[in-house]
Amino acid sequence: MQDALDLLSQATIQLLIKEPFYGHIITGLQKEESQQTSSLATSISERQYIKLLVNSDFWLAVKTQEERHALLKHQLLHLIFGHHLQFHKYRHRRIFDLAADWIVNRYIDADRLPQEGFQSNLLKEIELSVHPGLNEVYHKILDLSRQKNKHTVIEWLEKDNLYFQQHDSWKGFGRLSSLEHDLVESALHDTLMRSIQRLKGNAFEQLPLGLQLHLNRILRRRQTNLDWRRILRLFVASSHSSVLKNTIHRPSKRYGTTPGTKQQKRQKLLVAIDTSASIHQEELKMYFDEIHYLWKQDVQIYVVECDAQIHRQYEYKGKTIQVLNGQGGTDFNPPIRFAEQYQPDAILYFTDGQTEIPVISPRYPLLWVISCKGLIIDQAIWDTLPGRKLLINS
C-alpha cells in the first residue's frame, strides 16, 4: 500500500507536467507527514524553511489526482500571495481567512475543491476591482459583517469550519522577527523567480492574468530593492543566539533555582572563501569588504581559504591578508567538515558554485554567496546545494 508521501511525490510529478509553475515551487519545499493539520498545510521549520505538512489519513482519502492538484495549488497560492506572512497584521482572523481563501480559490477549478471550501462566487454580488488584493477583499467582508441583513458570507463567519484550521499552522510565521520575516520572504521570492525562469515557451503567459500581474510586481520590486549585502546581513543577524547565565541573586522561592539572566554572546561566524582558479581578485576584494563590515558589528569571524582543500585558516582581526588563488578545482566538503570542529552560529560560503554538491550535510545554518559570474539559478546544482543561496547581483 502506498503511503502519503509516495502519493504526494506522484502528484508533484504530474503537476510538473501539467502545470509546471506550481510543480517547480513544490519541489523546493520540505515535505512532512504530520498530525498538526487535519488536511494539508504549510508551516515553518526551526531553521526557517517553509515546509508542507500532510495529514496521511486525509491525503490517502483524496480520490483523484485532480483533487490533489487543487489542494496543492491552494497551499502554493497562499505562499505566492504571501498570506502566511500577512495574517498577523489583520485584527479579524476569520475575516482574513475568508479573504485569503477567496483570493487563491479564484485560480482553482471550483469543482476540484472541497465542498466546505470558500468559493469565489460567494462574493459575486459585491463590487470589487478586476484583480482585487487581499486588503480590498478583507475590508469588503468586514463591511458585510457589520450589516444587519445576513449575507451568505456572514453565515461562513459564524461556522466552526474545520477547513480554516489549515491556516493555524501559519502561527510560526507570525513569531518571526522583522529580520527573519525579510529573510523568509526573500527566500520564497527566490523560489518563485526560479520557477518562472524554468518555464518553457509561453507557459508564463498562460498563467491567469491576475497571477501574472502579482508575480511581475514581485519581480519589479526585487529588481529595484534587492541588495545582496542586505540579504547576507539579514541571514547573519537571524543566526545570532543568546545564552542564559546564572546570577548571584537569591534562589527563587517558587522554583528553588538560581535566577538566570539573558545575555547576548558574541556571534561566531565561519567564512569559507573559494580561492580556486576561477575566482578573480576583484571578487575576493568584494568578499573581504563585506567580511570587514560584519567584523565591525562585533561578529567573531573565522576564515578558511580553500579550493579542493583548506590552505589557510585564521581569525579575522580587521586587516585583510593577501589571498593567494589556488590552482586546483573546488571541493565544498572540507569547510563543512571543519565547521563540525569549530561549531559556529552560521556558515558563509563565498564561491562561484562551480563544482559538485557536498556529500557532507551541514549541521549549522549555511548561506552560499554565489559570485555574479558563477552558478546561475536554473542550473540543477542550485536546488541541490544544502542551505540558502544568494546570487550577487552586482
Last residue of a domain, one of 225, 251, 273: 225
Q: What angle do CA 38, 183, 233 make, to 5 degrees?
A: 155
Residues 15 and 136 placed together within one structural domain of the fold: yes
The arrangement of strands across the sheet holding 310-315 comes to 310-315, 300-306, 268-274, 346-351, 366-370, 388-391
Residues 72 and 22 placed together within one structural domain of the fold: yes
- Asked if residues 238 and 179 have their Cβ atoms less than 8 Å apart, the reply is yes
Residues 29 and 144 placed together within one structural domain of the fold: yes
Residue closest to 4 by CA, chosen among 25, 27, 35? 35
Q: What is the pLDDT of residues 148-187, one digit of tens each?
A: 665 666 666 666 555 667 888 999 998 887 767 887 888 8
Q: What is the pLDDT of residues 276-301, one digit of tens each?
A: 877 777 778 888 888 988 998 889 99
Q: Whole-angstrom Cα distance, residue 360 to residue 356?
A: 12
Residues 210 and 97 placed together within one structural domain of the fold: yes
Host domain of residue 20? 4-225
Q: What is the largest CA-CA distance in the chain?
A: 78
Residue closest to 21 by CA, chosen among 188, 203, 210? 203
The CA-to-CA distance between both ends of the chain, in Å, stands at: 52
pTM for this prediction: 0.66
Residues 211 and 287 placed together within one structural domain of the fold: no
Residues 353 and 293 placed together within one structural domain of the fold: yes
The number of domains in the chain is 2
Identify the pLDDT of residue 237.
81
273 CB burial (10 A radius; 0-12, 13-18, 19+): buried
Residues in the chain, total: 394
Q: State the CATH number of the domain containing residue 321.
A: 3.40.50
Residues 232 and 209 placed together within one structural domain of the fold: no
Q: What's the Cα-to-Cα distance from 341 to each of 13, 68, 330, 335, rounded to whole Å?
A: 40, 45, 21, 10
Residues 239 and 191 placed together within one structural domain of the fold: no
Residues 361 and 270 placed together within one structural domain of the fold: yes
Residues 320 and 242 placed together within one structural domain of the fold: yes
Residues 56 and 179 placed together within one structural domain of the fold: yes
- Asked if residues 62 and 83 have their Cβ atoms less than 8 Å apart, the reply is no
Residues 88 and 112 placed together within one structural domain of the fold: yes
Please give the chain's pLDDT, 394 residues, in tens: 568 899 999 999 999 999 999 999 999 899 999 998 888 999 998 877 899 999 999 999 998 999 999 999 999 999 999 999 998 888 888 889 888 988 998 899 877 776 655 555 666 667 888 888 899 989 888 887 777 665 666 666 666 555 667 888 999 998 887 767 887 888 888 889 889 988 988 899 999 999 999 999 888 776 655 577 777 888 888 776 544 455 555 555 554 555 555 455 678 999 999 988 777 777 788 888 889 889 988 899 999 999 889 999 999 998 877 766 566 788 999 999 999 999 999 999 999 888 889 999 999 999 999 887 788 766 778 778 888 888 886 5
Last residue of a domain, one of 225, 258, 287: 225
Last residue of a domain, one of 196, 225, 254: 225
The residue type of 281 is Q
